[in-house]
Chains A and B, each alone.
Chain A
Amino acid sequence: MVASNTGSSSIGQRLLFWMALGIVFIFFMFPLYWILISSIKTRAEVTDRVPSFFPFIDFQPTLTNYQELITGETVESASGVQASGSRAEFRDRLINSVITAGISTVLAVGLGTLAAYAFSRFRIPASNDLQFFILSTRMLPPIVVLIPIYIFFTDLKLQDSFAGLIILYTSINLPFVVWMMKGFFDEIPVEYEEAAMVDGYSRLEAIWKIVIPEAIPAMLATAVFSAITAWNEFVFANLLNRNYASTVPPYLNSIVGVGAIEWGRVAAGSVLFVIPIVIFTYLVRNHLLRGVTFGAVRR
């Protein structure tokens, strides 16, 4: 019965499959599309009661929102260029985001990888208890510790500093990195390092020449997730910063909060905010798949 079915309904099945895929695709991609087109509409078009969907057909696209956001100058007024209150603020915030997310990701992946290697390879007293402790720091929502951390940061003068945010994001991501990387290291046969040590290398050389090259896909996959976490973080960034080290998420929120909501500018900011992560993920995409499916494809 099964055999006769597959022949006749294979086209129908395929159609169903592609339709289902299409629905899922539209469901997930529409918000992004909506932000994208909103960012190239004028203020009037964004707030129009009748929504318009297709650029060049429903409305004429414009880059004004991006221009305003990046230069910090208002283009719109008829009397010419006008000084705006937030001079190129978005650009500064974006640079801040890149610095904090970038450095904290490098630190978290670097430190976490070393810790994970130790957990995977050495006999550490109370190893399981330590690992559970590390995991347990992810068991409560970070917002629960908001007040203690605020007090810490005030006392240590870490408020509104890059060091503060980088330390915070590194420690938020570390447990994740340790657990991910330990899983990957457990999959790498210990014989590789033993072979290298018999071949005349020290353990550190064996790690550097053999283990790290093997672990790079896993490290990149872990780095993508860590970077996204740090990149998106809003609550702490909003509370712990005034201006100097503030990142994009609180800034986008602040545009929403001032007077008439500039939806076009918010959308443009969101688009620009997404781009770095998309580029990073795109660059490491080949490693990402191997990293995420690491345990599944090995022997």
Chain B
Amino acid sequence: MAEVRLINVNKKFETAWTRRRATGESAGVLAVNQLNLTIQDGEFLVLLGPSGCGKTTTLRMIAGLETATTGQIMIGDREVNQLPPGDRDIAFVFQFYALYPHLSVIDNITFPLRAQKLPPDEIKRRVERVARLLRIDHILKRRPNRLPSGEQQRVALGRAIVRQPQVFLMDEPLTNLDASLRAEMRVELKHLQQELGTTMVYVTHDQTEAMSMSHRIAVMNLGVLQQVGTPLEIYNRPQTLFVANFIGSPPMNLIPARLHDGRQIASEDGPLRLDLNGHRLQADSAQDGDRKVLLGVRSEDMHLADETDAADVSGVVTVREPLGDETIYQVETEAGALLVKTPPRIVRQPGDRVGLTIDRRRIHLFDRATEHSLLV
């Protein structure tokens, strides 16, 4: 068990000189940019972001499969930048499991233990424990490529757990499972991590996985860390426009607006007017005059009303998506197309005229230039 610290870490992928010469491309791509992140001892931290955001590169740098261009990586109180992957006391679970196809399940699981030259009875004891924990006792003699993907997944986890490492590193390990199995494994992984208490860094692009399993989420985009926080902090108080957009389904409604004298919000199109009563602006944000902003409202923080007079904005239902436990309406308003989530008992048909009221306590405000949140 150990803390993992990334201090001013940069990773630049150099472009091959032949390619540079041929295409005039710049000298390299900055995959990870000035990353500072501390993963606490025993914590389940999810690195979340779209593909190409640098999350997998970060994980591979912790593992030692990539070297950091600059910066420091600490596992416990050891700086590991110069250590080969095998000496870092970590275990890595790959997206495609990377189970050795020519070895049986039991040989796959004992493979890391044989590298450590553990005595045979210790190996046997550990394998038995892991097999019991993951319920794979019955397939130990089989070849991994003949197994269903759920069991392959368990074997890959087994190979990681059996080492009893300081840190687990997981690279989208549930991507290849079908939806129901994925939900099941999510619960199981979370349970496993609680039981073992080992620090876990988990990479995914799936916000459901991130929200449901982690203690904290680190959201990345274009190599830059956007925000670190508990799932609810990330959901309720997104610090950047990217986080607001990326987290939540359907995505947050963003209405182009102007902030007047740091108090009143008016949509650029249409009659939407809101007071900022009860909200505090960031210290450097309270300025006189107009400021271009984006007003963010989650679909569940708006309500449908029949009386269009009392509503903040009104419009016409264009699409109705009944999902069973809730219904999502797309409403075409003067301020733009807005998505509204309602309980299933509220039924409107496309073409109906409706009013929308906004829960003022739950609005978000982003500067259009900096894309940072203006509210504290």
Residues of A within 8 A of B65 (CB): 194, 197-198
In the complex, A263 Cα to B91 Cα: how many Å?
A: 68
Q: Is the interface of A mostly helix, strand, loop or mixed?
A: helix
Q: B86–A194 contact, CB under 8 A?
A: no
Q: Does B116 touch A at the CB level, under 8 Å?
A: yes
Q: B101–A200 contact, CB under 8 A?
A: no
Name the contact of A194 in the complex, choosing from B90, B92, B111, B115 (C-beta under 8 A): B92
Q: Given A199-B111, A200-B86, A201-B86, answer yes or no on A194-B17 (Cβ-Cβ < 8 Å).
A: no
Residues of A within 8 A of B91 (CB): 198
Q: B112–A200 contact, CB under 8 A?
A: yes
Q: A197–B86 contact, CB under 8 A?
A: yes
Q: A192–B63 contact, CB under 8 A?
A: no
Q: Does A129 touch B at the CB level, under 8 Å?
A: yes
Q: Which of A159-207 contact B (CB under 8 A)?
A: 189, 191-192, 194-202, 205
- B18 smallest CB distance to A (angstroms): 6
Q: A191–B98 contact, CB under 8 A?
A: yes
Q: Does B100 touch A at the CB level, under 8 Å?
A: yes
Q: A195–B94 contact, CB under 8 A?
A: yes
Residues of B within 8 A of A129 (CB): 18
Q: Does A55 touch B at the CB level, under 8 Å?
A: no
Q: Does B262 touch A at the CB level, under 8 Å?
A: no
In the complex, A189 Cα to B163 Cα: how many Å?
A: 23
The contact size tier of chain A is 20 to 34
Q: Does A123 touch B at the CB level, under 8 Å?
A: yes
Residues of B within 8 A of A189 (CB): 96, 98
In the complex, A126 Cα to B22 Cα: how many Å?
A: 12
The contact string, 1 if C-beta is below 8 Å from chain B, for chain A 213-240, is 1100000000000000000000000000
Q: B63–A191 contact, CB under 8 A?
A: no
Name the contact of A195 in the complex, choosing from B16, B98, B116 (C-beta under 8 A): B98
Q: Which of B39-85 contact A (CB under 8 A)?
A: 63-65, 84-85
In the complex, A189 Cα to B97 Cα: how many Å?
A: 11
The contact size tier of chain B is 20 to 34
The contact string, 1 if C-beta is below 8 Å from chain B, for chain A 112-136, is 0000000000010111110000000
Q: A128–B18 contact, CB under 8 A?
A: yes
Q: B98–A200 contact, CB under 8 A?
A: no
In the complex, A192 Cα to B103 Cα: how many Å?
A: 12
Q: Does A256 touch B at the CB level, under 8 Å?
A: no
In the complex, A126 Cα to B18 Cα: how many Å?
A: 6
Q: Given A198-B65, A200-B116, answer yes or no on A123-B16 (Cβ-Cβ < 8 Å).
A: yes
Residues of A within 8 A of B361 (CB): none
Q: Does B102 touch A at the CB level, under 8 Å?
A: yes
Q: B115–A192 contact, CB under 8 A?
A: no
Q: Does A95 touch B at the CB level, under 8 Å?
A: no
Q: A198–B86 contact, CB under 8 A?
A: yes
In the complex, A126 Cα to B85 Cα: how many Å?
A: 28
B169 (CB) vs chain A CBs: closest residue: A198
In the complex, A195 Cα to B86 Cα: how many Å?
A: 9
Residues of B within 8 A of A197 (CB): 64-65, 84-86
The contact string, 1 if C-beta is below 8 Å from chain B, for chain A 92-114, is 00000000000000000000000
- What are the 9 A-B residue pairs with the smallest beta carbon separation, nearest first? A200-B115, A200-B86, A199-B112, A191-B98, A195-B98, A198-B92, A198-B85, A213-B102, A191-B94
> Can you list 21 contacts pairing A with B, beta carbon distance less than 8 Å?
A126-B18, A128-B18, A129-B18, A189-B98, A191-B95, A191-B96, A192-B98, A194-B98, A195-B100, A195-B159, A196-B100, A197-B84, A197-B86, A198-B90, A198-B92, A199-B86, A199-B112, A200-B86, A200-B116, A201-B86, A213-B102
Known: A125-B16, A128-B18. 6 other contacts (CB 8 A): A195-B94, A196-B100, A201-B86, A202-B84, A205-B115, A210-B100
